[in-house]
A and B are shown apart, each in its own frame.
Chain A
Amino acid sequence: NAGVTQTPKFRVLKTGQSMTLLCAQDMNHEYMYWYRQDPGMGLRLIHYSVGEGTTAKGEVPDGYNVSRLKKQNFLLGLESAAPSQTSVYFCASSLTGSNQPQHFGDGTRLSIL
């Protein structure tokens, strides 16, 4: 059971470089989310999507863009990476029914030098 798969698992970038993080889910979930996890701060929502072709801003969206061209994929882009974006990024997905839990990927550890 693949569940939620994140690619890549690790990446080191230089300031100003761009990259895309890929999230894929095989559970036919409508909702998908991108979080960042920083020490002592729990997880904070970056962007989310309630269905194919839709995206919305979360708590900390600045410096990131997202796209949901296919239902199973949710891409997170950094156009010009900054050291403040050094973090662990988690993707999650869920069903639309009330009180459904979110299912998480194993994370992408990103370092910006």
Chain B
Amino acid sequence: GNSVTQMEGPVTLSEEAFLTINCTYTATGYPSLFWYVQYPGEGLQLLLKATKADDKGSNKGFEATYRKETTSFHLEKGSVQVSDSAVYFCALSDLGSARQLTFGSGTQLTVLP
């Protein structure tokens, strides 16, 4: 079956530091890949997505590139802000039944001023 392995947290960075959160996946087909963000007390929000190999998703300064050869979708941001503190989830969507999402376990990011 499908699975997503995500870098374990928590991750603590100073403001303006570079961020990388690793994500690798296992899937039988050609899934779509997503990063979701969850702020305290809220539901998940889509951060970015990529639907085929070598696609780069980007939003709010975050980027991730769909690497089929390494089955990875690492999240990066060049300069984090305090407001980026949240839990980040990597997920994949199987184009099969109902496009069910398979989630990683989440990475808690705390950015200190």
Contact = CB atoms under 8 A, between A and B. Distances in A.
B32 A48 contact: no
Contacts of B26: none
A11 to B, nearest CB: 16
B99 A31 contact: yes
Interface string A91-108: 010100011111111110
Contact of B100 (A48, A100, A105): A48
Instruction: Among A41, A102, A107, find the residue whose CB has the most chain B CB atoms closer than 10 A.
Output: A102
Given A99-B32, A101-B46, A104-B44, A40 B99 contact: no
Contacts of A43: 44, 89, 101, 103
Contact of A106 (B43, B100, B105): B43
Size bin of chain A's contact surface: 20 to 34
Size bin of chain B's contact surface: 20 to 34
A31 B44 CA distance: 17
Instruction: Among B34, B49, B99, B100, find the residue whose CB has the most chain A CB atoms closer than 10 A.
Output: B99
Interface of B: 4, 6, 32, 34, 36, 41-46, 49, 51, 89, 93, 95, 97-101, 103-106
Interface of A: 4, 31, 33, 40-45, 48, 50, 56, 58, 90, 92, 94, 98-107
22 contacts: A4-B43, A31-B99, A33-B101, A40-B105, A42-B4, A42-B105, A42-B106, A44-B103, A56-B97, A90-B44, A94-B99, A98-B51, A99-B51, A101-B49, A102-B46, A102-B101, A103-B46, A104-B44, A105-B43, A106-B43, A107-B42, A107-B43
